[in-house]
Structure 1
């Protein structure tokens, strides 16, 4: 992985902490909207992590593949990115 390990790890640990907090909120039977707000905050962090990883992939792995002569490798990287776009559209 070419993304900033420290940044990605910090964000994921924050998301994990939020999930633990959400589980506690559910156990305490807290207000639904408060739980929903925390879920959306956690999702935002996970989206940020995914963006960092995709950005690193594009600027590292994909750039390296396109510097090569291998058309198959280039097509493979394009297909990988298209598969990610397909999943993001869901």
Structure 2
């Protein structure tokens, strides 16, 4: 993935980092547990979205190139390992 193509992922991760900082402050301020939990779920959703975006770009670039070079099966195996962890 080229550097110029990473802005979406970086923005999502920076947003998640800001939310994590907010969660830490909520815990320090002894905020209501359910409100904290909701924020944790929001961060998890952002991280999942980021990962899917990364995988999409990986498939559109690296996997496509690997298939053109006759090495597509290795890339499929890599993706399957990631998806296996994702669905656990």
State the Cα deviation string for residues 5-41 of structure 1 (Å, max 9, x = none).
Answer: 1111111110000000000000011000000000011
Cα contact 2:64–2:72 (8 A) shared by 1: no
| Runs of 4+ that moved beyond 3 A | none
The one of the two structures with greater contact order (alpha-carbon pairs below 8 A, sep at least 6) is 1
Provide the alpha-carbon RMSD of the alignment: 1.3
Give the deviation of 1:75 after TM superposition: 2.1
Question: Structure 1: which 5+ residue stretches go unaligned?
Answer: none
The aligned residue for residue 89 of structure 1 is 87
Q: Return the TM-score normalized by structure 2.
A: 0.91
Distance in 1 (CA, whole Å) between partners of 2:55 and 2:74 is 15
Aligned residues: 87
Stretches of structure 2 lacking an aligned partner (at least 5 in a row): none
